[in-house]
Structure 1
Amino acid sequence: MASSINLSIYSDVMVVLATAGVIVPVVSRLGANPIISYLTLGALLGPLGLGAAMDQMPFLYWITIVEPNNVAGIAELGVVFLLFLIGLQLSLSRLLALHRLVFGLGGLQIVITAAILTLIAVLFGVGTQQALVVGLSLALSSTAAVVELLSNKRRMSTTTGRATFSVLLAQDLAVVPLLLLVGILASDTGTNVATILGIALLQAAASLGMIVLFGRVFLRSLFHLVGSLDSSEVFLAAVLFIVVGAGFAAALFGLPMAMGAFVAGILLSETEFRKAVEAIVEPFKGLLLGVFFFTVGMSIDIVEFIKTPGLIISLLCILLIVKVIVLAPLARLFSLALPSAIEMAMLLAAGGEFAFVGIGAGAAAGIVSPHVSGMALTVVAISMALTPLLATLGEHLARAISKTEHGPELDEMPDVMTGHGIVVGYGRVGRVVAGMLQRHGLAYLAIDADPALVSRERRKENAVFFGDARNNNFLRICGLSEASSLIVTINDDHATDRIIEIVRAARPDLPIVVRARDATHARHLYAMGVTNAVPETIEASLQLSEATLISMGIPMGKVVASIHERRDEFRKELQ
């Protein structure tokens, strides 16, 4: 039995999991950037690092990566999950609003940057076909690294964030014609390249249209069914099926898997299941992205860098400078302020993960030589390791320029909801509470676990989302850290207690108002730390008393004052 197990696969996976689950979190707690940590450890533990000395020191077999392909599939899923989460943050209307930046700014950046880099490669003595593949591949930036940085800083919806993402989206779309171009150059059939690329792009658009059409019909119905089962395990399985299934469907049509997942995310972004799905996917995304950055680090050839450090640093500087001097003026041409243009150019200056796809495909087809491929991928990997530093430098330059020009300060925060109330439970009581908040001009977000009820209320344009408030990650995604109050209206004691525990651990200062059955239940809730418990029996008796006193001729103002006084007495007794 043991002899049938491929130990190299398990040892490689264990090295990556130990890195992602133990080493990087510890290093991050010490203040190191997680992306740089993954890339550095990948370079150190990869086959081009310590793995190269395995013949002399066999024990390194257990602490290095033997075969990179053993973890390549897991790494690709990291980018798939990232693009899915990005899609969840967008909507179709917002995406269409970005079309000018995607196809204008993004398209021009790819064409101009690729042309300059191709020319430079030819001047370095690289063949024309090799130079074209390398130039196009190096023109692309890292969606995974840049979006992760912007998301962590909550800057995805700022001017800089939207423009940056638009360019990245155009670059992701450009992977399809890049791979087609490699295939055409490899076949050398003499067919008109422009014609073949045009037909291929039309086929890609038709494929995405089919995925969108199928998703609109299928996704909401699936999640309605899964949500009604009230099983977190089934919901998790359905989410993973959609993410991986959408990527697989895109791959069947010759598109990047990440593109299919991105489309699925957009389709779910306007549904009541968005926040629940995001809460489930996000932990997977973090781990898988870590594996991805680790595999990118494995492409850094430390030996080659030691042999020719001057050449690699020169090529690295050329790549960064070319992309900055192309992107910044183009961004200004598309009406971006100078600070935003500079910051975006610095964010996108490094190479990206799809360079590994394009150059790898060229090397496999025999178009790109092993020496050129190794040198280019080493430059890309090092540039990706510099992305956090470039982003910080770009942000500082943008601030300095903004102050010098006495213009408006950079927009720091995206259009996220802040100062809102979170209403848990949207039954009869929850609807009344939400209605009163809305009547007084206060923002709210409501949560309910009944998919039919949530769908019905969303058709009335109420801000209700499907989800389980006992999930701390879900509450965080609902804006717990920015909320001004939490109102719990559900009639489930165990669930209520769990929600209070989560919220009090995360926000000791947050006002919590909870529906209680009676005085005994209210005392229990006060002991747990709620701000205000409202017993149904006491409130009913106070309302009856109010109606009785008014009917017996007592003035309204006097009655209201006495009812408030009695309510305060009850509250003090219960507390």
Structure 2
Amino acid sequence: MAEPGHDILIKDTLVFLFAAGVVVPVFRYLKLPAVVGFMIAGIALGPFALGSLTGQYHWLEYVSISEPAAAAPFAELGVLFLLFLLGLEFSFEKLWGLRRAVFGAGGLQAGISALAIGGAAWLIGLSPAAAIICGLALALSSTAIVMQLLIEQKQAAQPVGRAALSVLLFQDILVAPILIFVGFVNLEAGANITAVLLEALFNGVVAILVILVIGRFGLRRMFRLAAAAGGRDFLMALTLLTVVGAAAITATAGLSLALGAFLAGLLLGETEFKHQTEVDLEPFKGILLGLFFMTVGMSLDLPSILSQPLVILGGLAALLLAKLVIGFVALRFFAGPTPMSIEAAFLLAPAGEFAFVVIAAATAIGALPAEPAGLMAAIAGLSMLLIPVLGKLGTLIAARMRGEEPAHVLEEDFSELEGHVIIAGFGRVGQAVARIIGAEEAEIVALERSAYNVARARDAGWRAFLGDAARPEILHSAGAEGASLFVVTVDDVNDAEAMVRAFHQLRPEVPIIARARDREHAARLQEAGARDVIPDAIESGLQMAGRTLHQFGYDEETVRDRLAAERDEEYRRAAT
């Protein structure tokens, strides 16, 4: 018989899966973002809605979440995966290019927001320490919800996504100083604050250096070894170790978990395993982020909100207005033009998940009274629930300000490329094709399932990545939407056909050139969508026949004519 705790865990898991598999798809069918669907489901199934009625109606225990705290560690993993995948899309060079926005816009937004909110809290009667905590807690924004919305709308790589991420990265850096300050409130008189700050700074720098050293000198070697030893199973295990391990290193130093996951993504994004890792982690990220958004919904204290609706709604409006204005000014000065700054400011105006961490820490040590803590949590939760609506509003305003002028999209990854050639299979044949068309300045993206071949190609300077070209997600990452040609050079019959079929379904108008084993295989590839098929058996036979004719003494021109005539006939037969 299962233990009582296990029964609750299993029941809560079933409730969550029901929400993820049934309730949220209904919301999506109604054109609501998945983020909103998960948060509404969390509110409805949480302890302050259906869960509060289980004493009167016992059967509601089976359709509500009994232990919201048990889901917190898994929900945190969703945030880590999100930041890790964002890191994969960037590079240290691109991150360095954002330094003005990170420290300029991020610093100005966080600093002035904290001062404004803290000053307002002090004016309404909170102690100076409690007011500062309030300002610091509500000044930050939600990395998880904002970036997930941008990814869903395919804006993460656009200027608005880069600007929002810049501010959010600076806010993640502030996690350690804010928690240290909360701890200072409870320090005994005479404690050496300078020593504590220096120790925290030292620990943070050491943690980041450790991650960078491991990533630079060991990460690629470890992934190549895992790929050579056993393929995707070992790669998945090593990926999880990389994400969680980097997050644990930064957390140990007092920095945020998300910052470590982002750094790990930056480092892995410079290897040939980037695209395969993105595709493998995407389902895990989606389901765990959904759990995170549900925990945000479950944290909304509906009785408190209903008991003081005017106070909470007034505080919510003041928070959003203040952060919207401050965020716009900071972004306009340091990040970009007015329409983009407005769009990003609307996303960053609400509070973030870190507010709950600060509130809980301050309440535990007595630095923040229970009543204002409850009001802050309610305001923070409601503001996060409004992020999708505010994001849509910001987009509409920015679009109207831009008028008919199209937004400039920066080229960030292969999904934005135009006119390039995708080569599926990068062994000897694939590299021979690449050398010839590369000499004509064709831009090439190569996909290969052998880690050894990818490593050799990368060492030779090719843009090669570990990935299965039969998977639509991989093709999208390789830029299928903008490719001008798809070349399949793999010699496996089924794999080649699957790759041709997958690409043809995505881009039926784009020519596909495929390598076939024989005439029958060529017919199958043409049926799958290949425009030109090159059977190995035909070409090998023709080359051997040509060498034989040379040995019989035929001149070069006669041999070339004989082979050309036979080639035309063989390809005609292969096409019928």
The two structures have a TM-score, normalised by structure 1, of 0.92
Distance (Å, rounded) in 1 between the aligned partners of 2:42 and 2:247: 26
Deviation, structure 1 residue 154 = 2.4
Distance (Å, rounded) in 2 between the aligned partners of 1:283 and 1:435: 36
Counterpart in the other structure of 2:221:
221
Q: After the TM superposition, which residues 5-20 of structure 1 pair with which residues of structure 2 at under 5 Å, given as runs?
A: 5-20=5-20
Distance (Å, rounded) in 2 between the aligned partners of 1:60 and 1:481: 48
Deviation, structure 1 residue 359 = 1.5
Deviation, structure 1 residue 186 = 2.3
Q: Do the aligned partners of residues 277 and 335 (structure 1) sit closer, same or farther apart at CA in structure 2, a change above 3 Å counting? A: closer
1:73 aligns with 2:73: yes
1:359 aligns with 2:356: no
Q: Do the aligned partners of residues 2 and 570 (structure 1) sit closer, same or farther apart at CA in structure 2, a change above 3 Å counting? A: same
1:234 aligns with 2:231: no
Q: After the TM superposition, which residues 432-443 of structure 1 pair with which residues of structure 2 at under 5 Å, given as runs?
A: 432-443=432-443
Letter in 2 for 1:311: V
- For the residue of structure 2 that corresponds to 1:209, the secondary structure is helix
- For the residue of structure 1 that corresponds to 2:185, the secondary structure is helix
Distance (Å, rounded) in 1 between the aligned partners of 2:325 and 2:4: 55
CA contact 1:485–1:511 (8 Å) conserved in 2: yes
Counterpart in the other structure of 2:91:
91
Letter in 1 for 2:20: A
1:322 aligns with 2:319: no
Deviation, structure 1 residue 488 = 1.2
Distance (Å, rounded) in 2 between the aligned partners of 1:109 and 1:198: 25
- For the residue of structure 2 that corresponds to 1:186, the secondary structure is coil
Letter in 2 for 1:229: A
1:157 aligns with 2:157: yes
1:273 aligns with 2:273: yes
Q: Do the aligned partners of residues 484 and 564 (structure 1) sit closer, same or farther apart at CA in structure 2, a change above 3 Å counting? A: farther
CA contact 1:155–1:412 (8 Å) conserved in 2: no
CA contact 1:175–1:358 (8 Å) conserved in 2: no
1:249-300 CA-partner distances (Å, limit 9, x unpaired): 3222222222221111111111111111111111111111111111001122
Q: Do the aligned partners of residues 230 and 294 (structure 1) sit closer, same or farther apart at CA in structure 2, a change above 3 Å counting? A: same
Letter in 2 for 1:173: I
Q: After the TM superposition, which residues 252-331 of structure 1 pair with which residues of structure 2 at under 5 Å, given as runs?
A: 252-331=252-331
Letter in 2 for 1:124: I
Distance (Å, rounded) in 2 between the aligned partners of 1:65 and 1:455: 48
Number of matched residues? 569
CA contact 1:12–1:70 (8 Å) conserved in 2: no
1:509-555 CA-partner distances (Å, limit 9, x unpaired): 44322111222321232233322211123234556788979974759
Deviation, structure 1 residue 316 = 1.0
CA contact 1:486–1:513 (8 Å) conserved in 2: yes
Counterpart in the other structure of 2:43:
43
- For the residue of structure 2 that corresponds to 1:187, the secondary structure is coil
What is the aligned counterpart of 2:408 among 401, 407, 411? 411
Q: Do the aligned partners of residues 263 and 353 (structure 1) sit closer, same or farther apart at CA in structure 2, a change above 3 Å counting? A: same
Deviation, structure 1 residue 412 = 4.3
1:202 aligns with 2:207: no
1:397-445 CA-partner distances (Å, limit 9, x unpaired): 1122223xx8x54224643323332211111110122223323333221
Deviation, structure 1 residue 505 = 4.2
1:351-382 CA-partner distances (Å, limit 9, x unpaired): 11111221222122222222222211221121
CA contact 1:343–1:391 (8 Å) conserved in 2: yes
Q: Do the aligned partners of residues 423 and 20 (structure 1) sit closer, same or farther apart at CA in structure 2, a change above 3 Å counting? A: same
Identical counterparts, % of pairs? 37
Q: Do the aligned partners of residues 198 and 342 (structure 1) sit closer, same or farther apart at CA in structure 2, a change above 3 Å counting? A: farther
1:126-179 CA-partner distances (Å, limit 9, x unpaired): 222221112111111111111112222222232222221110000011111111
> Structure 2: where are the runs of 5+ without partners?
none
CA RMSD of aligned residues (A): 2.5
Deviation, structure 1 residue 181 = 1.1
Distance (Å, rounded) in 2 between the aligned partners of 1:271 and 1:409: 33
CA contact 2:169–2:259 (8 Å) conserved in 1: no
Q: After the TM superposition, which residues 505-524 of structure 1 pair with which residues of structure 2 at under 5 Å, given as runs?
A: 505-524=505-524
Letter in 2 for 1:284: F
CA contact 1:102–1:169 (8 Å) conserved in 2: yes
Letter in 2 for 1:150: L
Counterpart in the other structure of 2:461:
461
Counterpart in the other structure of 1:181:
181
Letter in 2 for 1:473: E
CA contact 1:179–1:358 (8 Å) conserved in 2: yes
Counterpart in the other structure of 2:381:
381
CA contact 2:159–2:409 (8 Å) conserved in 1: no
Distance (Å, rounded) in 2 between the aligned partners of 1:318 and 1:414: 38
Letter in 1 for 2:271: T
CA contact 1:78–1:288 (8 Å) conserved in 2: yes
Letter in 1 for 2:215: G
Deviation, structure 1 residue 74 = 0.8
1:2 aligns with 2:8: no
Q: Do the aligned partners of residues 402 and 429 (structure 1) sit closer, same or farther apart at CA in structure 2, a change above 3 Å counting? A: same
Letter in 2 for 1:97: G
Q: After the TM superposition, which residues 522-537 of structure 1 pair with which residues of structure 2 at under 5 Å, given as runs?
A: 522-537=522-537
CA contact 1:526–1:574 (8 Å) conserved in 2: no
Distance (Å, rounded) in 2 between the aligned partners of 1:41 and 1:188: 44
Distance (Å, rounded) in 1 between the aligned partners of 2:221 and 2:441: 34
Q: Do the aligned partners of residues 414 and 15 (structure 1) sit closer, same or farther apart at CA in structure 2, a change above 3 Å counting? A: farther
Deviation, structure 1 residue 497 = 2.9
Letter in 1 for 2:82: L
Counterpart in the other structure of 1:346:
346
- For the residue of structure 2 that corresponds to 1:272, the secondary structure is coil
CA contact 2:23–2:41 (8 Å) conserved in 1: no
Distance (Å, rounded) in 2 between the aligned partners of 1:437 and 1:318: 60
Letter in 2 for 1:521: H
Distance (Å, rounded) in 2 between the aligned partners of 1:46 and 1:152: 26
- For the residue of structure 2 that corresponds to 1:317, the secondary structure is helix
Deviation, structure 1 residue 235 = 1.8
CA contact 1:339–1:401 (8 Å) conserved in 2: yes
Counterpart in the other structure of 1:115:
115
Counterpart in the other structure of 2:421:
421
Deviation, structure 1 residue 567 = 4.8
Distance (Å, rounded) in 2 between the aligned partners of 1:335 and 1:474: 32
